[in-house]
Amino acid sequence: METVEENTLQSLVKHAEKWFFPWVIEEIVIETDEQLKNMSDLLGVGKKIVNALEAARKEEKQPFIDGGKAVDDSYRPTQSRVSLGVTRIDKALLVYHRKKKSEADALLEMQMVEEAKKIEECQVTGEIYQPPEAIAKPVGGTVKGNMSSTAIIDSFEYFIKDENLVPRELCSPDLKKIKAKHKYDKKPIPGVLITPKSHTSTRLG
């Protein structure tokens, strides 16, 4: 029986075609001790070819893996710096928007309380109530740039703290079902820690 001289795909295919495939065309049935010995030999040949094919595949593929890694390595420093900048801008935008919204909401709440008192006074005195302009504009969920539009999206993060407490209809527990249920009824879910989380979605141009 010939040995495999080269671990290339072509030579391995040629070797398998000559020394292995002809004996495995149909289902193999062993009927004699001699056949048993021959099939043991053939099994060894087949396993050797399998291992040789795998080794050759890895060897032929490795330069592409190395090339892909080299491409990744060349991009990674700039990607990391840009991503860090995006993260910082994103965080600053969310913090400022949250602060601005909180301040505007507080002013509008204060004005609503004062206006409610004035309405009650006018009902007593008979004066005609003249509603003033709002002292602050409600802060919306979209930031308009000179050439961009960034939506502030309020969402939630979900952490399963105790699987045994999660309602059975939401189990394995299934986070997809948990999110859908919470989105629908806005109620706490036993065994699940739900925390608010905001993120941005920016459209340029």
Distance separating alpha carbons of residues 72 and 82, to the nearest angstrom: 15
142 beta partners: 151
Q: Quick one: 90 exposed, middle or buried, by C-beta within 10 A (0-12, 13-18, 19+)?
A: middle
Per the prediction, the chain carries an average pLDDT of: 84
Reported confidence tier of residue 1, pLDDT bands at 50, 70, 90: very low
Structure tokens at 162: 């105790």
DSSP state string for 97-132: HHHHHHHHHHHHHHHHHHHHHHHHHHHHH-PPP-PP
Distance separating alpha carbons of residues 68 and 94, to the nearest angstrom: 36
Q: Quick one: 204 exposed, middle or buried, by C-beta within 10 A (0-12, 13-18, 19+)?
A: exposed
The arithmetic mean of pLDDT across residues 60-73, rounded, is 94
Q: Are 193 and 149 in contact (CB under 8 A)?
A: no
Least confident of 10-24, 50-64, 169-183: 10-24
199 beta partners: 153
Q: Quick one: 143 exposed, middle or buried, by C-beta within 10 A (0-12, 13-18, 19+)?
A: middle
Give pLDDT, residue 169: 81
Give pLDDT, residue 140: 84
pLDDT of 145-193, one tens digit each? Answer: 888 889 888 888 888 898 888 888 887 778 888 888 898 888 888 888 8
Q: Are 110 and 118 in contact (CB under 8 A)?
A: no
pLDDT of 86-101, one tens digit each? Answer: 999 999 999 999 899 8
Domain boundaries, the chain: 9-71, 142-204
Distance separating alpha carbons of residues 6 and 20, to the nearest angstrom: 17
Side chain identity, residue 22: P
Distance separating alpha carbons of residues 191 and 6, to the nearest angstrom: 60
- Of 44, 50, 52, whose CA–CA distance to 8 is shortest? 52
Give pLDDT, residue 168: 81
The pLDDT > 90 percentage for the chain reads: 18
Q: How many CA atoms lie within 13 A of 4 on its CB side?
A: 25
Give pLDDT, residue 3: 52
- DSSP one-letter code for 180: H
pLDDT of 72-82, one tens digit each? Answer: 999 999 989 98
**Top-confidence range, 16-20, 66-70, 195-199:** 66-70
pLDDT of 100-135, one tens digit each? Answer: 988 988 888 888 888 888 888 788 787 887 777 877
Q: How many CA atoms lie within 13 A of 139 on its CB side?
A: 16
Residue 144, pLDDT > 70, answer yes
